[in-house]
A and B are shown apart, each in its own frame.
Chain A
Amino acid sequence: MMRSVPIRILLGSCFLAAAMNLVHAQSTTPGGMPPPPGMSLAESTAMRFPQPVRVGDLLGREVLRPVESQDILGRVRGLVRDRDGRIVVVVDFGGFLGFGTRSIAVPVDAMVLLGQDMEIVAFTPEQLRQFPTFSPSGTTEVANDTIIKVGLAKPSH
């Protein structure tokens, strides 16, 4: 969605010769840092100024890795409550060109909002590969109109 830089900005940039000291435009500290060791996921979300968001607005969003290259890990397929009542995000994870994708359940507190995208900040791709494939039994779907709170991060690039 709306990723492209408007041509006008590029044209404007042709004329300028600034930004000499910085390669990483807006970033002096990285965004989307993992929770510090020993901190629970809920505690780390509380530090990230969790904001209300409608569950239906999260469906289909790209899920990124919080690194400069912003690798796409998958897409949000849905949100469910697990057996313990915690909200988890079902992510269509991995694969290539739509083949080999499988669903995994990631606690919402392991994720942050990044504009139109989401990021998994608490688990590395290696850890996510070890996640079991999601099975809906014992879980309940979270209705689209539910408002939940999700933490924020600044862009990682």
Chain B
Amino acid sequence: MRSPFRPDVVPDTAILADHKPLIRSLERRGLIRGSLSLGALVLLTGCDVKRPEAVESALLAISRLNDGVQALLFDPNRLAPTYPASTILRPPKFNAYYDVMDVKPVNGTTWRLEVSGRVADKRPWTLQDLRALPQTSMVIKHICVEGWSYIGGWSGPTLRAFLEHIGADLRAKYVAFKTADDYPSSIDMATALHPQTLLAIQYGGDTLADPFGFPVRLRMATKLGYKNPKWITAIEVTNTYPGGYWEEKGFPWFAGI
């Protein structure tokens, strides 16, 4: 039976066909796909479904809402599971947006960690400086958005210890990272201050090897793998949303586990 509320002029059904590849790309998210009818798209986009950007921005709005919900659910005192040291995978699994042959090792003696934004002390850091901070070790699971995982053992100063040391504004919204392999990333301050968020400089008790981010990478027990930049060269504390490599391509920004 035809709905009594059906408008006289309906949107062109070809619009749904136009966006089919986009909707198909969401195949693992059955709930969303199932609800992405023409009517839902119209609701989301204020009737402007003819522009592909409008559909994308509608979906991004859902993703941002999801980020907000995850941030609300995040408990800064709740710890992720840890594992015995005997379960550490040696060596760890390599992953990047390029293959291992394209890794460009960083020279640890000339390397400096730049510090900027809402911090009191903006002096650049050496690897020696990072080693001089109190060191924390954790054996945690690395969980990739692709579906694989492994248990790894990481050591280094907590990001909290580092941020407190440089006099960072701990009420700022974001901590942003730049890396030698041009993989910018950023996290929320609550996660930055979580006890299982490390500036990792060691793996399994040894200096971090080149393919895994020497001299320093981020390791968080509470976020997906792609939120952990390697070969970090700069850290900024900011209130301006910094985005990130995959996030600009549509991956969720909060990416909590």
Instruction: Let me know if B62 is at the binding interface, CB within 8 A.
Output: yes
- B229-257 near A? 1/0 per residue, CB < 8 Å: 00000000000000000100111100011
* Residues 86 to 139 of chain B near chain A (Cβ within 8 Å): 89-103
Contact of B95 among A14, A19, A20, A154 (CB under 8 A): A154
A49 in contact with B143 (CB, 8 Å): no
- What's the nearest-Cβ distance from chain A to residue B52, in Å? 10
B29 in contact with A13 (CB, 8 Å): yes
**Within 8 Å CB of B250, what residues of A?**
18-22
B146 in contact with A157 (CB, 8 Å): yes
- What's the nearest-Cβ distance from chain B to residue A87, in Å? 17
Given A26-B95, A51-B91, A116-B150, A17:B62 Cβ within 8 A: yes
Q: Within the assembled complex, what's the spacing in Å between the Cα atoms of A98 and B183?
A: 44
CB-nearest residue of chain A relative to B55? A20
B28 in contact with A155 (CB, 8 Å): no
- What's the nearest-Cβ distance from chain A to residue B164, in Å? 30
Most buried by B among A8, A25, A116: A25
Instruction: Let me know if A23 is at the binding interface, CB within 8 A.
Output: yes
Contact of B99 among A30, A54, A115 (CB under 8 A): A30
A26 in contact with B101 (CB, 8 Å): no
Q: Within the assembled complex, what's the spacing in Å between the Cα atoms of A150 and B101?
A: 14
Instruction: Let me know if A83 is at the binding interface, CB within 8 A.
Output: no
Given A31-B99, A116-B89, A154-B96, A22:B146 Cβ within 8 A: no
Given A18-B60, A26-B144, A12:B29 Cβ within 8 A: no
B94 in contact with A13 (CB, 8 Å): no
B100 in contact with A20 (CB, 8 Å): no
Instruction: Let me know if B174 is at the binding interface, CB within 8 A.
Output: no
B98 in contact with A6 (CB, 8 Å): no
**Within 8 Å CB of B22, what residues of A?**
20
Instruction: Let me know if B43 is at the binding interface, CB within 8 A.
Output: no
B93 in contact with A51 (CB, 8 Å): no
B97 in contact with A27 (CB, 8 Å): yes
- B52-76 near A? 1/0 per residue, CB < 8 Å: 0000100110110010011000000
A31 in contact with B100 (CB, 8 Å): yes
Contact of B148 among A22, A30, A47, A115 (CB under 8 A): A115
**Within 8 Å CB of A22, what residues of B?**
25, 249-251
8 tightest A-B contacts by CB? A115-B93, A51-B91, A18-B63, A17-B62, A17-B59, A152-B94, A16-B66, A49-B211
